[in-house]
Amino acid sequence: MQYIALVTICLLTSAPYAAPVASKYLSDEDLAKCPKDAGQAGECIKIIMNELIPRMRLGDPELNIDPYDPLVINRLSFQYTVGPISGKVSVRHVKIYGFGEHKVDKVNVKVNGDKVKVRVVSNMPTMNLLGEYKSELNVNSLQLKPKGIFNLTLFDVELRVITSGDIYTKDDHQYLLVNDIEVKPKIRDLIAKADGFFADPELDEIAVNIANTYWRDIYGIILPETRQSWAPILLRLINQAMLHVPIDHFIQPSQ
């Protein structure tokens, strides 16, 4: 689920990499301003995103935006319960590759007073996640505690992201505070590799083969069950970065 959060952060906080400067704000010196009319702004914002995403892969410490290709997650945990199956999964030292190839296909913006809703459709050819995991799995009376290394490769990832927020003013600039996010990912295929399920390597291989055969069912169950774990983290990270992105820098003033 982590990769979903990171893609969205990439979309909403992309900025050109440069040597640190005195200003704490994202510069618009080499970017066109978008129309203030929300109905016309979507295409302009899409162009800016696609220009900035590959340039931001090194991050910008002055804007509090970290490098993202690869993007490193130190630790993340979530719990889930689905029928007779319950458990807890913790991952750490995760590296995620592929955001530099991220491309935005469509942006739609709706503004009602200070309320803003943004819909973004984007895609990535491949995404690779590498890291360590530890899990507690309960199936009826059976208890398992696997741990080991995992490697996930996702192919043709399409993301449909909907965010809503409020415009507020600070230091004579306008900013966006995101208060809700919905992510609908679509994946053509996924290949998983992992060890540590069982002491016997052959049983490990059987378990991984089952996961690869039924990954769509597993993915469809785990995603909604874990939203309460990753959504608050995602919102916090987005808003932390948005503090350095005055939206009025990129919107044409009213005529």
Q: 221 CB contacts (<8 Å, ≥6 apart)? A: 80, 82
Domain assignment present for 222: yes
In 3D space, the residue among 96, 231, 205 whose CA is nearest the CA of residue 152 turns out to be 96
Domain assignment present for 86: yes
pLDDT (tens digit per residue) in 18-50: 333 334 566 656 666 777 776 677 888 888 888
Domain assignment present for 71: yes
Domain assignment present for 254: no
Domain assignment present for 26: yes
Q: What CATH number does residue 37 fall under?
A: 3.15.10.30
According to DSSP, the residues that pair with 87 across neighbouring strands are 80, 137
According to DSSP, the residues that pair with 84 across neighbouring strands are none
The pTM (predicted TM-score) of the whole model is 0.75
Domain containing residue 16? 2-249
What is the spatial distance between Cα 210 and Cα 168, in angstroms, rounded to a whole number? Answer: 50
Sign of CA dihedral 33, 252, 179, 118: negative
Q: Is the confidence at residue 67, as pLDDT, over 60?
A: yes
What mean pLDDT, rounded, does the chain reach?
78
- What is the total count of domains within the chain? 1
CB of 176 closer than 8 Å to CB of 153? no
Mean pLDDT of the 84-92 span: 86
What is the spatial distance between Cα 161 and Cα 176, in angstroms, rounded to a whole number? Answer: 16
Omega cis (within 30) before 16: no
C-alpha gyration radius of the chain: 20
Count of beta carbons in the 10 Å neighbourhood of residue 202: 8
pLDDT (tens digit per residue) in 93-121: 999 898 888 899 999 988 888 898 989 99
pLDDT (tens digit per residue) in 187-215: 999 999 999 888 888 888 888 898 889 88
Domain assignment present for 124: yes
Q: Is the confidence at residue 255, as pLDDT, over 70?
A: no
